[in-house]
Structure 1
Amino acid sequence: MAFFLEVLIGGLMAGVMYSLVALGFVLIFKASGVFNFAQGAMVLFAGLFFVGFSEMGVPVWLALLLTVAVMVVLAGVIERLVLRHLVNQEGIILFMATIGVSFFLDGFGQTIWGSNVKQLDIGIPTDPIFLMDGEILIQSFDLWAALVAGTLLAALVVFQKTRTGRALRAVADDHQAAQSVGIPLNVIWIIVWAIAGLVALVAGVMWGSKLGVQPAIVSLALKALPVLILGGFTSIPGAIIGGLIIGAGEKLAEVYIGPFVGGGIENWFAYVLALAFLLVRPQGLFGEKLIERV
């Protein structure tokens, strides 16, 4: 029983890390109605700038502020050069645009800071914590990651209830209707991409502290796609719940089913589970079911 709880808790903690990335996807989707393929690249981009500033001898707090400024500027550039010219275009066109943004950020970040694995230490404790008289082992870092994710979730839930948060939902529903009632579409997009950039920064710092800042983070960040399918593309709480389900499910499957099939389940379990959800409940656990009347 103790071993089962240790595997389960470890999976839940890994799921929290997936949820951090998924939050950025949800924010963009709620504001533009398109899946932002560039979110994984934004995680790497933010992580590279943060660790780059740190390697230059900049204090951690100042490196964080500088990277925040970079992500805000990036949001403005994306809106000015890409999104502004695609207003009222079909979702597939915006999706293709985010693919282009993804490859640009991936290459541009590595051009500036290099592509080698960069170790990142921001002082988060990594000492193990033992529970139940030492039978269960939990990493301190994972608990801090869970705390960060919970804080972000609470802040974003509160943000949704603000005037700007309501404007985001209006823009996602209908660009033209939002503009007709005086909602500045360009400003809203800058705000939401800036917030998604800040979420990407937090995810990049946490993933970078755990695994090192490296290009592989981009592929790892796409594990957020099954998380979104489970939780719902428009639900911030769904991103958290979906991440926990994916994280716990893949760890338990790897430990208890993997030995019977040769292992490797952790690499594809999330996508198979997401496929099953698409067949049964395509809108996700917390997503809104779309009904078209003809």
Structure 2
Amino acid sequence: MGFFLETLIGGLMAGMLYSLVALGFVLIFKASGVFNFAQGAMVLFAALAMARFSEWIPQWLGLESKLLANLIAFAIATACMFALAWLIERLVLRYLVNQEGATLLMATLGISYFLDGLGQSLFGSNVYQIDIGMPKDPLFLFESMFEGGVLINQEDIVAAIIAACLVALLSLFFQKTSTGRALRAVADDHQAAQSIGIPLNRIWVIVWCVAGITALVAGIIWGSKLGVQFSLTTVALRALPVVILGGLTSVPGAIIGGLIIGVGEKLSEIYIGPLVGGGIEIWFAYVLALVFLLFRPQGLFGEKIIDRV
């Protein structure tokens, strides 16, 4: 039972991180109808900015406090993601309003490759570390209940708490603020939102900024765990089944889908993997996503599309 709980908790922790990346897809799709294939590149670019500025700031300003240097680096990286969001709207999206979905998809692919090249040009192509003080030592819980206790990585706990806090803030933002309500109005109907005076271009900038912040937090967490390297863009591919499972238009769906995928990967690898030769964790999420595409293509919480003729 203790080993099962250990696997279950590890899956939940991984699922929260998947959800964090999936949120970027959902937020942009809800507001603009664009499936943003550049989300992985945004995570990488944000993580590179954080890693390099946290390294450069102490040299430039002569700071000895790592915490202060990280805070300044986070502020600069946030400003970079805001500037990036403004440029994407100004130079790309503004000219693609009401275009076909394939056109918008190709635009985000172009943005993805551009960000990969820009990140390498500005910050270098080595593997960098992000050290924000997250504890690395394992933690043993429930030792009185189970022999040997339940082993949990403290870094995973902190990462899950950060992700949960960000999700809660985003939920409050969408539900309680006028800008959040405007974002939901644009998501429901672009033309109706414009007809009542909601500026579509400004809303797109805001939602890309929010997605940029989400990418920054995800990049910091994944960079702290795995190091900042160009393979970090593949994190977005791990989040695609989460989006399919939860629904492209549902923020709660991204959370629930991430938790299901995270737990399913861990449990299937432990209990089913030995029966099929292992490696099931690599493809489990994609097979589950394929099943949903066949039987419930809108996902668990997505809106069912009904065409009337």
State the identity %.
Answer: 69
Is 1:152 the counterpart of 2:166? The answer is: yes
Is 1:99 the counterpart of 2:140? The answer is: no
Alpha-carbon distance in 2 for matches of 1:204, 1:110: 15
Find the residue that maps to 2:305 and give its secondary structure: coil
Tell me the residue number matched to 2:3. Answer: 3
**What is the aligned length?**
294
Tell me the residue number matched to 2:202. Answer: 187
Q: Does structure 1 retain, via aligned residues, the 8 Å contact 2:57–2:72?
A: no
Residue 263 of structure 1 and its aligned partner are, at CA, apart by: 1.4
Is 1:137 the counterpart of 2:151? The answer is: yes
- Summarize the alignment of residues 181-260 of structure 1 with structure 2, pairs less than 5 Å apart: 181-260=196-275
Q: Does structure 2 retain, via aligned residues, the 8 Å contact 1:87–1:175?
A: no
Residue 236 of structure 1 and its aligned partner are, at CA, apart by: 1.1
Alpha-carbon distance in 2 for matches of 1:33, 1:231: 16
Q: TM-score scaled by structure 1?
A: 0.97
Tell me the residue number matched to 1:31. Answer: 31
- Summarize the alignment of residues 262-277 of structure 1 with structure 2, pairs less than 5 Å apart: 262-277=277-292
Is 1:90 the counterpart of 2:105? The answer is: no
* Deviation beyond 6 Å, 4+ runs, structure 1: none
Residue 22 of structure 1 and its aligned partner are, at CA, apart by: 0.7
Alpha-carbon distance in 1 for matches of 2:99, 2:183: 17
Q: Does structure 2 retain, via aligned residues, the 8 Å contact 1:30–1:234?
A: yes
Residue 48 of structure 1 and its aligned partner are, at CA, apart by: 0.2
Root mean square deviation, CA, Å: 1.2
Alpha-carbon distance in 2 for matches of 1:239, 1:142: 19
Structure 1 residues 117-167: Cα deviation after superposition (integer angstroms, max 9, x where no partner): 112111011221111213210011111111111111111111112221222
- Gapped regions of structure 2 (runs ≥ 5): 59-68
Residue 28 of structure 1 and its aligned partner are, at CA, apart by: 0.3
Which of residues 122, 126, 132 is equivalent to 1:122?
132
Q: Does structure 2 retain, via aligned residues, the 8 Å contact 1:25–1:39?
A: yes
Q: Does structure 2 retain, via aligned residues, the 8 Å contact 1:88–1:175?
A: no
Alpha-carbon distance in 2 for matches of 1:72, 1:220: 21
Q: Does structure 1 retain, via aligned residues, the 8 Å contact 2:50–2:130?
A: no
Residue 173 of structure 1 and its aligned partner are, at CA, apart by: 3.3
Q: Does structure 2 retain, via aligned residues, the 8 Å contact 1:33–1:173?
A: no
Amino acid at match of 2:13: M
Alpha-carbon distance in 1 for matches of 2:282, 2:127: 21
